[in-house]
Each structure stands twice: as C-alpha cells, then as structure tokens.
Structure 1
Amino acid sequence: MKTLLTISVLALLSACSGKETGSTESGNILENLSYSVDTVVVDSGEDIFDLSGLVHLSTQVKNPNFIYQFDEKQSKIHKIDLDSKSLISTFEFEKEGPDGIGKTFSGFEVLSGERFLIASFESQGVFDASGTKEFDLNVSDYFDPENDYQEELLIPYELRLSPDGKYAYVLAGDFFEGIWYFARLDLVNKTSRVWEMPELLSSKDFTIMLTSETFDLRAEDVHLNKLKDGVAVTVGSSSSVYAYYPSSDSLQLIKFPHTLTAAEKSGTYPPEVSSQNGFEKVVAAIDSEISFDALAWDSSTSRYFRFASRKPTIASEKEEVFLYAYDAGLKLLGEQKVDGLTSRPTNYFFKDGKLYSYVNVEDELGFAVFTFDF
C-alpha cells in the first residue's frame, strides 16, 4: 500500500475549514465544516485495472467493505477489499451469445450473493459469479409499442433492482432531446408504470455538439441514485431531485432552498458549434455555472451528501467545490464551500462514516478518504 500526502488530481489539503455559510430553516449543519484526508492505493497483484476511460464502480449496500470495478474492455468485474486495499477476485463475462452482456455498456449494480445487474444498449440482465445470465431483463418486453415514449425507453441509461428483486427501476431517455423517463417494472406480473420528468427538459439547453470533421458531445450527467427507501433521479444542471418511494408508488419532485449557490444552470448556449476552439469556449462557459453531482448515503449519520462545483473561466483561478447535506427525507440540512478542494470528488461513497472518492494515482486505482467534522 502507498500513502500519498498530496494528490495532484484533487489538490487536497490535509485539513481545511470552510468560511462561507448558507442557511436553511433548520440551520446550516455544515457551517463549521472541517476535514482531513488520507489516500490509499489498491494493490492489483498480477492483474491490471483499466483506468484509461470512465471508471465504473459499485458497492454492496449491506457490505461497504467491498468495491467492484467494471472493466469495459475486458468485460471483467474486479472485487476489491477496501480494508486490505487489495484485489481479491475477478469475474469474467461474455459480450455475445446467450450469456452476453452486450458491447455498449451503460451500468451495473452489485446484488446479494455475488450476483450482478449489468445493463448495456444490447442487453440487460442479472448474472451470477460465473458469468451465466440468471434472468433476462429486456426492458422492451415491458412496454406497449404504441406508446409515444417507446423509442426512448428501449435504451435504458441506468437500471436498479428493488431489494426484494420484484421490481426494476429504469432511467431512460435521450441526451439530444433532453427527454427523460422514469419507469417502475413489475418483474413478476410483467407490467410497467412510466413517469415523465419535465424538470429535466432544461438539461437539453446544456447539450452541445461539435459538428466539424470530428464529432464531440457535451451533455449533463444524469443518474439513478439508490436511496435508503427508494431511488432518485439527479441531473447535473439542477439541484432538484425526482424521488421514487415504493411505499406510495409515486415519483416526487423535490426542490431545495439553496442560498450559497444557484439552484440550477441558467445560461443560453448554441446547440451546435462548428469549430474545436468554439466548442471548448462554450463548454468552459457552461462549466463555469453550478454543476450538481449524485447523492451518497451515510448510514453512520443517516444523511445524504452530495458535491457540486463551478469551474473557472480564467486559467489562473481555481475550481470552487461545494458540499450539501440532507436528512433521510431529503430535507436540506446544510451547504458549504469546501476550501482546499480544487476539483470535485468523483465516484464517491461512504464507508464507516468516511467518504471515499476515486482518484488515479500514477495509473493505480486509489481513493481519497475524507473524515468530516462539523
């Protein structure tokens, strides 16, 4: 194991306290926020972690000691013990055939008993540790083809399974059109219920295409978050959350009274740009507005936390990073600027009351481990 005192990716300080304050009806619990940070690096043994592109990580809800990393290129899932900081096993999958996971990966979830929900544009299903497909969860089987939203729902972006395995929750839509749907699939009775999410339509305003000899796309992150008692949809351009609770079988829009930052992006930008330089300028302007990340549940405090950031338009300035806290019912409890962080943490989750965030440490899989005090 290697321990680093600094990480260039995050430019972290070993301890820091915030100065700016926000307010909520219940007071700002993060007003006196301070933190310390350690860095751990995972020993991959004789294997190699592919960190060249997007790094896909998932944790077990009931056992946060283990983290799983999905390797798109080799169709493998690595199981990592965070206590020993080492790779302990690897699961291999086929891309094609009856047990194929598909070629265009979109996401995965770790289930009980060393099983995995793996989703791609071509295939969705539950697989065991040997790579055998236990259950084919083809979302197109659950929808009426005469419905107007059928085409978008055929391409699930993210999937989650209910704890009892009876329901699947689907986030599906179209980045280009900004149309997003949430669906609850009844896996026993082969039925579905679909909700539109009009609050997410504005995310299209921040989808920018480069239409020159090369193609590039900038779009807002959209995520299907696991909640303690349900799931929630978050989008980078807005602090608002769509929360689904099985007890009421309803999708609720929740807005927050943020005072420290704007609640959403508001600028106007061209949908297409014909030059690389123009594309980079528009992207920089969008990134200078507030961008919100996914929710992370901390079982030790029974609270949710999330980060947000604003990137500078001037190279000499630093990115601003913010932290928000919510109670179990998603009521805003506090907000604070996190001085000392010059990059928003990514792929973060809680273990033993500490926040773990993925970092690439000289092409090794590493985690910044935050201890918060407020």
Structure 2
Amino acid sequence: MKKLPIYFLLLFLISCGGDPDKSSANQNLDISYEIDTVMVDAGDHFFFVRYGLSMSDLDKERKLLYNFNNQEMVMEIIDLENLKLKEVRQYEKEGPNGIGGGFIMRIQVLPDESVLFYDFVGIHHVANSGEKITTHKLGEIEWQGDQLAEEEEINMSSLDTQDGKRFYGFYGTQGFDSKILGLVKIDLSDQSLRLFPSDFLQFTSDFEISFEMNGGGMAKAPEQNRVRVLDDKILITTSSKNQIWQWNLEQDSLISQSYESKLSSNSKKGNFPMQASSQEEFRAAMKEKNKEVSFGRLIHDTEQNKFWRVHRDLERMTAGDTIIYKHILTAFDLEINQVGETLLPEGILFFEPGFYLEGRLWKFLNIDDEVTFVRVKPEIK
C-alpha cells in the first residue's frame, strides 16, 4: 500500500473562546489538536477527484467512503480503516435499474447501505446490490397536505434525510431569480408535504453575484445554505454569517443562535460587485467575494459529544495577489453553544472537512490526482 509520509505532526494547546458579552453560552475552553496526512492506496485504479470528493458520503457503521463518478456511473468504495480501495461498483443509466441520464449532483448512503442518488428532478433509491428500489420524481407527485404554488419547487440540493423516507430542506422559486421562501418537510412513505414559510435566509441574497452573458444566458453564485438532520436535531447554517438555526418541528419554530468570533469577521460585508456582464468581471467579483469570511458545515463528533466547524477569513494578500486564508476551528456543545475556537496553522488547507471518524476531522486533499486526507484530531480541555 502506498503511504504518504506525514509532512508534519503538530500538537497545540491554545486558549480560545467566544465573547461573553455576545452570548452567555460562550465559554473559554482550551482546544488541543494533532494534524497528520495519509494517502489512500488505489492500486491500478484512477480515482475520480474532479469535484474534490463532493460526490461522496460516509457509511459510518462500516467506515467506508462512497465516492461517485457521475461521468461513468461508477461508485468507488474506500476502506478508511486500511486506507485502500475496497470496491468499484458500476451503475446503469437506463433500464429497470437505471438511475437516469441526467446529472447526478449528490449521493447519500443510508444505514442499510442502500444509496440515494439526487438529480435535478428527483431521487433514485438503489440497494447495495445495484438493484433499483424506486425513483421519486418530486414534481410529479400529488402531495397530501400543503401545496406548492405554481412557481414554487422543492430545492433538491438542500434535502437531507436519515431514513430515506422523511426529508427536510428548502422550497422556493427556481431559476435565475430563485429565492428561498421557507422550509419543507416531505414524507415519501405517504407522499405528504408540509411547508413552513419564512424569510429568515433572505439576507443571504445580498451576497449573491449575478452573471448575465451576452448570449442571454444567466448564472448566479449563491451562498451555501444548508439543512442538516442529526438525530433529533434539524440544523440550518449559512456560509455568510456566524449564526445557526434549530428547526423545532413540534412547535413549528426556528431557534436562532448568533456567535462572536474573536479571530475573524462574523458576517460577509458585501464589498464586491453584485453583477457581472463578462467572464472577466465575474472572476474578478468572485475573487473579491472570496476575500470575505465564509462559514463551513457542522460536523458531529459522537465521541466527545460536540459539533465542529471550520471557517475561513482573509489573512493577507501576497505580492503576487494570492489570497492567504486563516482557518478557524470552532467547537459547539450538543445544544449548539459555542465552547471554544482556535486558529489552525497557516498553510493548512482545511476549509470544509468532509467527515469525522476515529477521533479526527478528515479533509480531502488532491495530490497529483491521488486521494489524500489531511486529518485534524481535536480535543477539548
């Protein structure tokens, strides 16, 4: 098995914490961490790394990472305990087990090892044998309960589930002028739909960059707004602000918590062009936007009963006009109270780690098209 030498191993003990004036729940706990790097043995196989393993999901029970190649309809299954490729599984586009010729944008591995494939119109549910269980085209379902207006749709990319039946996400208008109009719960077992109208994320549209091309085409660079189902919690985060919402289904309510980082900004400022009329203008606007703070996803640490998050902010610009980021690791307790934060060492590209396993946060790193992981092992003191 190929191994990448550990290029550093660091142990830090750093005092960190939130601002007690901002939130009484913030604490001043110490975070220590170790960092190492490992490489996966691919044998004679060439991994699909075009999208930075964003088309992957973890089977937490068996410690396997499923990475989907949506160009060739192939699933690469990586054994994370032994850091080697375990299996390559071929899927079909057409036929009784076909998952469609459309663009698969996401996968999700369920506890029974079956896989959900999300495309722009629906969800394909496939057993681990490769046999398709069913396809749900959400726009064709006659929903029981609440009804979407003619111009409204369920945001497919936002949906999350734990059992493959009940899904939670956003709904709203689609297309170039898309807007999040609220939260949606769907149950595919009885085809029921509930809508929870709310404009609580409307402020994130202030940080979108619109691109209108000469040929009439349009594009938009939105913020990353996410719904995450974790056991009895439904958590909502945005990349634009240091804030987390908890969705209480029983009370039909949102509980909002704001946080104060002493190591970065707490919200995007919007000091960049909001519209571009050429690719050059769009790239320039995106570069300015990328100088502003961006908050990553929450990752559940079942061993220490914590949540971890990494966000980044501008540290400085080099003489060659390259952005150098600082990366901040933040810890939250199970009630989503911030309990500490600390800077990661400069040069560690650790924004948006993918998952937590064996006491470590894992972040994919592409080294010569090989699957490599930078791993941070955090501990709260």
> Does the alignment reach a TM-score above 0.5?
yes
How many angstroms does 1:205 deviate by? 1.9
User: Which AA in structure 2 matches 1:85?
Assistant: L
Matched residue of 2:258: which SS?
coil
Paired with 2:287 and 2:16, the residues of 1 have a C-alpha distance of: 25
How many angstroms does 1:292 deviate by? 0.7
Q: Does 1:370 align with 2:376?
A: yes
8 Å Cα contact 1:321-1:341 kept in structure 2: no
| Equivalent residue, structure 2, for 1:22 | 18
TM-score of the aligned structures, taking structure 1 as reference length: 0.85
8 Å Cα contact 1:142-1:192 kept in structure 2: no
| Equivalent residue, structure 1, for 2:167 | 168
Give CA-to-partner distance per residue, 1:203-256, whole Å, 9 cap, x none: 22222133346976432223332323233232211232333356x274524222
8 Å Cα contact 1:256-1:332 kept in structure 2: no
Give CA-to-partner distance per residue, 1:8-29, whole Å, 9 cap, x none: xxxx773445576533434535
Paired with 2:137 and 2:253, the residues of 1 have a C-alpha distance of: 23
- The percent identity for this pair of structures is 22
| Equivalent residue, structure 1, for 2:98 | 100
> Per the alignment, do residues 218 and 155 of structure 1 end up closer, same or farther by CA in structure 2, a change over 3 Å counting?
closer
Runs of 5+ unmatched residues, structure 2 = none
Paired with 1:294 and 1:42, the residues of 2 have a C-alpha distance of: 24
> Per the alignment, do residues 315 and 212 of structure 1 end up closer, same or farther by CA in structure 2, a change over 3 Å counting?
farther
1:1-374 to 2 correspondence within 5 Å? 1-6=2-7, 14-16=10-12, 18=14, 21-24=17-20, 25-30=24-29, 32-55=30-53, 56-63=55-62, 65-102=63-100, 103-140=102-139, 141=141, 143=143, 147=147, 149-163=149-163, 165-173=164-172, 174=174, 176-177=176-177, 179-180=179-180, 181-212=182-213, 217-245=220-248, 248=250, 250-260=252-262, 261-267=264-270, 269-311=272-314, 314-316=317-319, 318-374=324-380
User: Which AA in structure 1 matches 2:206?
Assistant: D
Matched residue of 1:238: which SS?
coil
> Per the alignment, do residues 333 and 82 of structure 1 end up closer, same or farther by CA in structure 2, a change over 3 Å counting?
same
How many angstroms does 1:264 deviate by? 2.3
Structure possessing the higher relative contact order (Cα contacts under 8 Å, 6 or more residues apart): 1
TM-score of the aligned structures, taking structure 2 as reference length: 0.84
More divergent stretch after superposition (317-326 vs 292-301): 317-326
More divergent stretch after superposition (110-119 vs 171-180): 171-180
Paired with 2:152 and 2:9, the residues of 1 have a C-alpha distance of: 44
Runs of 5+ unmatched residues, structure 1 = 7-11
> Per the alignment, do residues 349 and 162 of structure 1 end up closer, same or farther by CA in structure 2, a change over 3 Å counting?
closer
**Structure 1: which 4+ aligned runs deviate by more than 6 Å?**
none
